[in-house]
Amino acid sequence: MSTYQLYGFAQSGHSYKVALMLELLGLDWQVVKVDFFKGETRSDEYRNNVNEMGEVPVLVENGEKMTQSGVILDYLADKYGQFGGETAAEKRDIWRWVLYDNHKISSQIGPLRFMVGIKKMDENDVTKYLRGRITDALGVMNKHLDGQDYFVANRPTIADFTLCSYLFFADEFGYDWADYPHVDRWLNNIKALKGWQHPYDLLPKLEA
């Protein structure tokens, strides 16, 4: 058995955050495929035995389960001494962006991408609402990256890995990085990291 088992699937940007980190750290891990589209995360079985929050990813190490991608990334950064903050101020700066991602980026792009990219819905009031919030938040990201290669301390950290995840599916939810040149440059910096792979190459893709 591998050192780490990761519950997830390829369409989940949240699973990708952790898969990317495991890969960039060169760790030994394997996937436990979760069939989100068949309702697996909503089942009592999953909520009672895997994750009460009904979410992926879940990382298992020596039989112990850890949930929430931000917690998992922070744990791995600390344990392996890579991609984390070197000072208390840097650690706070990283958490600041992990929270921004959970509040303003991933939690808004995830549902938009599900609606228009997976369920192929037409644009509607909900997708317009989500796009409004996402456009504002991407503007904040683009401005922050002006003159910087990465979000914190100008080197790759878990702040970048949490923020980038859903952006690699941009064609599926209709954004063009030409409108956000600093975001575009930063995504290319992440793609150039040794070990980087696209979510669809790292995790099993489910039939939607």
**CB closer to its own copies, 140 vs 208:** 140
Q: Which of 11, 15, 68, 157 binds its own copies (CB under 8 A)?
A: 68
Q: Which of 49, 119, 121, 143 binds its own copies (CB under 8 A)?
A: 143
Q: Which of 3, 26, 49, 54 binds its own copies (CB under 8 A)?
A: 54
Q: Report how many residues bind its own copies under the rule CB under 8 A.
A: 34
How far is it, in rounded angstroms, from Cα 5 to Cα 148?
34
Nearest residue to 16 (alpha-carbon basis) of 207, 208, 205: 205
Strand partners, 65: 60
Binding mask 88-127 for its own copies (x = CB under 8 A): ----x--xx-xxx-xxx-xxx--x------------xxx-
Q: Does residue 67 interact with its own copies by CB under 8 A?
A: yes
Q: Which of 26, 71, 86, 179 binds its own copies (CB under 8 A)?
A: 71
Per the structure block, which two tokens stand in for 125?
């009031």
Which range touches its own copies (CB under 8 A), out of 17-25, 28-36, 129-137, 164-172? Answer: 129-137
How far is it, in rounded angstroms, from Cα 142 to Cα 148?
10
- Count CA atoms within 13 Å of residue 179 on its CB side: 9
Q: Outline where 8-124 has alpha helix (H).
A: 13-24, 44-49, 69-80, 88-100, 106-112
Which range touches its own copies (CB under 8 A), out of 31-39, 50-58, 175-183, 197-205? Answer: 50-58
Rounded to 5 degrees, φ, ψ at 55 are -130, 160
Q: Helix 13-24 vs helix 69-80: angle between axes, to the nearest 10 degrees?
A: 10
Q: Does residue 52 interact with its own copies by CB under 8 A?
A: yes
Interface residues toward its own copies, by CB under 8 A: 47, 52-54, 66-71, 74-75, 92, 95-96, 98-100, 102-104, 106-108, 111, 124-126, 129, 133, 136, 140, 143-144
